[in-house]
Structure 1
């Protein structure tokens, strides 16, 4: 079974028959023990250190449908090598483009993405509100007020008449949500407002890194459907970015990323000592980065009992189901309803 592989050390990768050979190389140029990755076991490659590879390797990866996602020293996502789309279909391309070009059709889909994200945010907030309800303190009050505010903003989503107005509502929902993070994680970490490039503290670094992992998971899933990842509805399509992955990631970030962050912090699996602040921003130490990536990967593999399908599905498969639902909407088969967590 294909699984994503994570490369944290700098090194050199090459093809050896039908196997990927990765040789770690330290700062002095000394080679370590090579690792061999059978190609049939490799899903995507996530590269967090410098990678030395040639065009022959990328041709091989392209033939096998393996994407490579790159992150720089500060855990910022920098780009992806994506194989040639093998499932693209002309009718889907035409219908996806038509829905983007039609203001009415586009806003309808964009509203659904915001509704899905807001409902999943509410699910997270209510979970932690219930946990703190037994102790009447400022944390409980902060979460209760946030729930009411997000519910009020969610009610305004159907009234948004254009994308800028909708993005404004979505931004207010996110800001209200982020204002509760300090109450959820306690005194160990402090958000002090959302900052991205660079993240100014530990919690911001975790959010940015987790969001990029969610984005690349959505991008890889879209690749295995007939959807075009460059044609989006909530986010504006732009040069050199796969904006549909941003749309779909909005729905899943509260469930896949934020819950993981809260769980690891509250279980003390992440400590302030796992980070360091530099001129370029706050970054995770390598050991902490590995723990977080491992936690994210395990969460994608975790299964839940699907209410409609009546069987257990993984979180990764939930993302694929979201893509399939969007495809049906674009083809006029079934109206798109965003994923909303029920647990």
Structure 2
């Protein structure tokens, strides 16, 4: 079942019988059976009819709103997605220190191994000593994950691993897209702009899956539970950042499907153009 992304600011999403219809002006650009749509993500300025929203709540199809640059604003979902018994169990498990610690260890280890897979794959094609050094640094740190005695200590290891990874990744990307660190809100360079939008897409997909099975998206283990933060979604997406988003962005650059012409540099950051967003979204 597909995810529906609507990125054209002048677009309108309406319901026509058993179909969702996307229009731009007088032109119908997409028509999908309601039964085939799993989740919907729209730019904040897209017009979504009340009939669509009602249908989505009836069929438990989450609708999420994002900014032009992928910043998540919020989602709408129906009552059928709320399983209060699961929520109560989640809160109990979130207060179980040992359970949260062990789950977090699994998440961080899986994330690190996927990051290493990406680095090794590209390092075989274009050997660079600085990348080899960061791979060695990451491998040396992995055993400490299993011996961590607190969530905060694990977060510290995860931060160090991510720093090593992004430093190596910055050396792997094609010339013109090199970067030294992960930046967001705003992204300061083209590759970070791609990652930011890609991670927002991944966030929306995981959020939709979490809500479909009746879990509470704000009750997690590795990420701190706080206001305005879907901690469980952040937990679950960590493992998939590298193999899904990072790999996609690298592929688009190496195949020259996205070039520097697909970015706008402004005073407050660097962002994909409308055409660049379409390429990234349609290839995902």
Compute the TM-score of the two structures, normalised by the length of structure 2: 0.92
Give the equivalent residue in structure 1 for 2:281.
Answer: 293
* Distance (whole Å) between structure 2 residues aligned to residue 153 and residue 226 of structure 1: 36
2:71 to 67, 70, 76: 76
* Distance (whole Å) between structure 1 residues aligned to residue 205 and residue 144 of structure 2: 30
1:116 aligns with 2:107: no
Counting only pairs closer than 5 Å after superposition, residues 146-161 of structure 1 correspond to structure 2 as 146-161=134-149
SS of 1:229 mapped into structure 2: coil
Counting only pairs closer than 5 Å after superposition, residues 275-314 of structure 1 correspond to structure 2 as 275-296=263-284
Counting only pairs closer than 5 Å after superposition, residues 185-334 of structure 1 correspond to structure 2 as 185-296=173-284
| Distance apart, 1:85 and its partner CA | 4.2
1:47 aligns with 2:42: yes
* Distance (whole Å) between structure 2 residues aligned to residue 130 and residue 22 of structure 1: 44
Give the equivalent residue in structure 2 for 1:335.
Answer: none
| Distance apart, 1:16 and its partner CA | 2.8
* Distance (whole Å) between structure 2 residues aligned to residue 99 and residue 75 of structure 1: 31
Contact preservation (8 Å) 2:174, 2:253: no
* Distance (whole Å) between structure 1 residues aligned to residue 175 and residue 13 of structure 2: 43
| Distance apart, 1:17 and its partner CA | 2.7
SS of 1:235 mapped into structure 2: coil
Give the equivalent residue in structure 1 for 2:120.
Answer: 126
Which sections of structure 2, spanning at least 5 residues, go unmatched? Answer: none
| Distance apart, 1:55 and its partner CA | 4.0
Compute the TM-score of the two structures, normalised by the length of structure 1: 0.77
* Distance (whole Å) between structure 1 residues aligned to residue 14 and residue 122 of structure 2: 47
Which sections of structure 1, spanning at least 5 residues, go unmatched? Answer: 25-30, 134-139, 297-343
SS of 2:162 mapped into structure 1: helix
**Which range moved further: 164-173 or 223-232?**
223-232
Contact preservation (8 Å) 2:11, 2:23: yes
* Distance (whole Å) between structure 2 residues aligned to residue 237 and residue 172 of structure 1: 22
* Distance (whole Å) between structure 1 residues aligned to residue 167 and residue 83 of structure 2: 41
1:63 to 54, 58, 62: 58
* Distance (whole Å) between structure 1 residues aligned to residue 72 and residue 92 of structure 2: 30
Paired residues, number? 282
Please list every run of at least 4 consecutive aligned residues from structure 1 whose deviation after the TM superposition is greater than 4 angstroms.
Answer: none
Give the equivalent residue in structure 2 for 1:307.
Answer: none
* Distance (whole Å) between structure 1 residues aligned to residue 120 and residue 33 of structure 2: 44
